[in-house]
Amino acid sequence: MLLADSRLPAGAHVSSNALEAALRDGLAPSAVAAYLASRQRTVTEVEAGAAVVARRIALDAERAPAPEALEPLLREWAARTPSRAQREVACALGDGLRRLADVLWPGAVPAPISRERPWPRPLVLGLVAAAAGLAAEDLVRLVAYDDAQTVAAALLKLEPGDPRSAAALVLEACALLEPRVAELAALEDPVHIPCTGAPLTEGWAEAQSTLPRRLFRA
C-alpha cells in the first residue's frame, strides 16, 4: 500500500501537504528541507500519535473497534488540527485509504458514524497497522515517511529536479523524528497525543484550499 500510495488517487496525487501554496507564497525550493523538518516536529508528531493510539484501540478490541470507541481519539486529533482545510483533506485521504483497506483487510476499518465525516488518514492508518501486524515503532516511522514523501513527490512536480535529491530530503526528514519514535510508539491515551502547532503550515493549508488554479487539492 505504501509503495502504491503516490500512484493512487487517494495518495500524493491529491496532496502536496500545502507545499504548492507555500511555494506560491515565496518559499524557496532550497528551503523545502526546513519545511520538512518543521512538519516532522509538528504535524507528523500529532498524526503519528493518533495513528499509534488507533492501533492500540484496535488491538485492545481484538477486531475492528466499534465506531464509538474511536470518537474520543477523533476529537483529540481534531483539536490538534485547527486548520479546517487540513482536517478535510485528512478525511478525504482517510476515506480513500479505508476503501483500499476494505479490499486487503476486510472489516479492519469500521464504517464511520456519518458519511459526511469520514475517518481521517492517521486513524485509518493505525487500524490498518493493527490488522497488518505492524509494530508501533514502525507505524511512527511510516507516518514520518508518508508525510515527507508526499512533500518530496509534490516538489518534483512543482519544481522539477533531481529525484535523488528529493529522496535525500525524505531520509533527512525521517531521521529528525527518530529520537521521538519510542516515546510516540508508547502512547495509549488520546489525551497524551502531542499538542504541537504549526501556524504557518496551517495558513498555507488554508490558502491552498482556495487557490483558483492548483495542481493539488491540499
CB 124 within 8 A of CB 74: no
Position 211 pLDDT exceeds 70: yes
pLDDT: which is higher, 216 or 60: 60
- Please tell me the distance from the alpha carbon of residue 105 to that of residue 95, in angstroms, as a whole number: 15
Rounded CA gap, 111 and 13, in Å?
A: 24
Q: What are phi and psi of 132, to 5 degrees?
A: -90, -5
Q: Which residues of 103-114 are buried (b: 16+ CB within 10 A; e: fewer)?
A: eebeebbbebee
Interatomic CA distance for residues 106 and 115, integer angstroms? 18
d(CA 130, CA 53): 10
pLDDT in tens, 66-93: 889 999 999 999 999 999 999 998 998 8
pTM (2 d.p.)? 0.91
59 vs 68: CA distance, rounded Å = 15
Where are the domains positioned within the chain?
2-210
Q: At what angle do helices 67-79 and 121-132 cross, to 10 degrees?
A: 130
Q: 12-16, 39-43, 202-206: which has the minimum mean pLDDT?
A: 12-16
Q: How far apart are CA 128 and CA 136, in angstroms?
A: 12
Residue 17 scores a pLDDT above 90:
no
Q: Is the pLDDT of residue 5 over 70?
A: no
State the chain's mean pLDDT as an integer.
88
Q: Tell me: pLDDT of 9 over 80.
A: no
